[in-house]
């Protein structure tokens, strides 16, 4: 399995998450508070420095009110390389 950080799919995932947070009208600090994390945790997610596992994706989806299945479908249609 290849490394995922920096791949086109990872970049699309990050873009989708940032857009969802902005649509929700939340700052990185707001989201971090809801996650029980520091703002720097969200900053690392959004800068692509950290992987997002499926459980985290579901939690982010619940907080930001998006369908995680639609994100996965979009990632499936993105080239992995």
Rounded average pLDDT per 10-residue block, the chain, 81 residues = 84 96 98 97 96 95 96 88 61
CATH superfamily for 8-76 is lambda repressor-like DNA-binding domains (1.10.260.40)
Backbone angles phi, psi at 48, to 5 degrees: 80, 15
Predicted local distance difference test score (pLDDT) of residue 1: 62
Check: pTM over 0.85? Answer yes or no. yes
CB atoms < 10 A from the CB of 31, how many? Answer: 22
Integer Cα distance of 19 and 13 in angstroms: 10
Predicted local distance difference test score (pLDDT) of residue 16: 96
List Cβ neighbours of 74 (8 Å cut-off, separation of 6 or more): 12, 16
DSSP state of 37: S
CB atoms < 10 A from the CB of 47, how many? Answer: 10
């Amino acid at each position: 399995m290849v490394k995922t950080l920096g791949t086109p799919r990872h970049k699309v995932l990050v873009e989708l998450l940032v857009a969802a947070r902005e649509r929700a009208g939340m700052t990185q600090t707001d989201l971090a508070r809801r996650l029980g994390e520091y703002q720097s945790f969200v900053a690392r997610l959004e800068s692509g420095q950290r992987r997002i596992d499926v459980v985290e994706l579901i939690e982010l989806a619940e907080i930001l009110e998006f369908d995680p299945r639609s994100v996965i479908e979009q990632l499936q249609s993105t080239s992995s390389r």
